[in-house]
């Protein structure tokens, strides 16, 4: 399944709903479940109450239902796939997509691709540290900084070096602690494209103080457009990854070139710690997958498009520089 969150009007700010993309249309899973229950004889109010418990606004809460929720969603997709005229279908024109997890439980972002890390040390004229091979290092990102697909990414107030990062992310679907590498795949609910937007000059200052990065990263993160369940991907270790800026290809790589696997990252992250449904692990930038490696930088108005085999395309427009 390709799970999405989409926006419906609500007091204060739009509220999220969970859907499943089928051939360019979006099945509103809560509405589909309510109709299905009504057809089975439930009172409409009771049907809506139960449907909301199965398909809450927050994707993290849905993921917390584990297989209970996934099986229900699959059954609804199957049941409504042949009924495209039913009222339970919508589309991004009517209800814009949000990030599939508008709010994650947490965001760990790794540095799994050796080529990217090597290039960074080369650029800074520093020797590549052997320590990097000993464990998959990560920092923690901002789990509520996700910019919806096709939305504008605001230019942070104090950067002259606005960058993208082409990454693959996996989303945890099941609570676990001290998870062994060989069982890690059981904990993955799905995959997304991740764009770890970066203010490089801000980031470089932060890491000089041996903490973070934080402000250099947390102003915005791209995630989406879908949360693709593992059964839809033939092999997460062989996905072509491409970044284009204003239609021009800047980056191309393959997920299989990562030194650390998601299984190893999950094992490392879960040592002495509990992973929860809705936790996100980012792979880090694929080799060549950011402007820093190319010494090319984003400008206001640029259209940044990331594409990964099977995971769709994730586009954002870079916002204007704020007035001083």
Residues at the contact surface with a copy of itself, assessed by CB under 8 A: 105-106, 108, 111, 129, 131-132, 134-135, 137-145, 154, 156-158, 205-215, 218-219, 268, 271-274, 276
Tell me: cis bond preceding 213? Omega within 30 of 0 counts.
Answer: yes
Looking at the Cβ atoms of 250 and 262, the one nearer to a copy of itself is 262
CB of residue 143 vs a copy of itself: minimum separation in angstroms? 7
Looking at the Cβ atoms of 178 and 232, the one nearer to a copy of itself is 178
Q: Within its chain, how far is the Cα of 92 from the centroid?
A: 18
277 — alpha (psi -120 to 50), left (phi > 0) or beta?
beta
Considering Cα of 219, then 223, then 225, then 226, what sign does the dihedral take?
Answer: negative
Task: Name the nearest CA neighbour of 222 among 139, 316, 140, 109.
Answer: 316
Looking at the Cβ atoms of 45 and 208, the one nearer to a copy of itself is 208
CB of residue 127 vs a copy of itself: minimum separation in angstroms? 12
Considering Cα of 169, then 175, then 180, then 183, what sign does the dihedral take?
Answer: negative
Q: Three-state SS for 298?
A: coil
Looking at the Cβ atoms of 106 and 313, the one nearer to a copy of itself is 106
Looking at the Cβ atoms of 157 and 234, the one nearer to a copy of itself is 157
CA angle 46, 6, 322 (to 5 degrees): 140
H or E segment and range at residue 67: helix 67-80
CB of residue 36 vs a copy of itself: minimum separation in angstroms? 27
CB of residue 209 vs a copy of itself: minimum separation in angstroms? 4
What is the distance between the alpha carbons of residues 279 and 108, in angstroms, rounded to a whole number? 8
Looking at the Cβ atoms of 134 and 182, the one nearer to a copy of itself is 134
Looking at the Cβ atoms of 58 and 91, the one nearer to a copy of itself is 58
CB of residue 49 vs a copy of itself: minimum separation in angstroms? 12
What is the distance between the alpha carbons of residues 62 and 99, in angstroms, rounded to a whole number? 14
Q: Using H for helix, E for strand and C for coil, what is the string for 130-144?
A: HHHHCCCCEEECCCC
CB of residue 199 vs a copy of itself: minimum separation in angstroms? 9
CB of residue 313 vs a copy of itself: minimum separation in angstroms? 26
Looking at the Cβ atoms of 94 and 183, the one nearer to a copy of itself is 183
CB of residue 270 vs a copy of itself: minimum separation in angstroms? 10
Task: Name the nearest CA neighbour of 107 among 289, 232, 276.
Answer: 276
Query: 110-139: string of b/e by CB count within 10 Å (b at 16+)?
Result: bbbbbbbbebbeeeeeeeeeeebeeebebb
């Amino acid at each position: 399944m390709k799970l999405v969150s989409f926006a419906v009007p609500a007091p204060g700010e739009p509220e999220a709903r969970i859907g499943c993309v089928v051939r360019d249309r979006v099945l509103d899973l809560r509405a589909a479940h309510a109709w299905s229950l009504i057809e089975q004889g439930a009172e409409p109010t009771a049907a809506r109450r139960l449907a909301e418990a199965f398909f809450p606004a927050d994707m993290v809460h849905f993921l917390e239902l584990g297989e209970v929720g996934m099986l229900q969603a699959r059954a609804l997709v199957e049941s409504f796939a042949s009924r495209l005229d039913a009222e339970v279908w919508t589309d991004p024109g009517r209800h814009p997509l949000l990030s599939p997890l508008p709010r994650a439980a947490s965001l760990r972002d790794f540095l799994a691709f050796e080529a990217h890390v090597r290039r960074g040390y080369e650029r800074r004229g520093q020797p590549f540290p052997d320590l990097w091979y000993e464990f998959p290092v990560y920092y923690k990102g901002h789990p509520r900084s996700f910019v919806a697909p096709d939305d504008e990414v605001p230019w942070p107030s104090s950067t002259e070096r606005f960058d993208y990062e082409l990454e693959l992310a996996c989303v945890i679907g099941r609570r676990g602690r001290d998870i062994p590498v060989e069982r890690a795949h059981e904990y993955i609910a799905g995959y997304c494209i991740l764009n770890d937007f970066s203010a490089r000059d801000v980031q470089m200052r932060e890491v000089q103080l041996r903490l973070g990065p934080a402000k250099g990263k947390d102003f915005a993160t791209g995630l989406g457009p879908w949360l693709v369940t593992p059964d839809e991907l033939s092999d997460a270790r062989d996905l072509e990854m491409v970044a284009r800026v204003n239609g021009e290809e800047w980056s191309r790589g393959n997920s299989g070139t990562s030194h650390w696997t998601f299984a190893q990252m999950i094992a490392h992250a879960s040592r002495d710690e509990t992973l929860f449904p809705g936790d996100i692990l980012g792979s880090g930038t694929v080799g060549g997958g950011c402007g820093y490696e190319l010494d090319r930088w984003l400008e206001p108005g640029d259209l940044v498009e990331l594409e990964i085999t099977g995971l769709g395309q994730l586009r954002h427009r870079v916002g204007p520089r704020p007035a001083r």
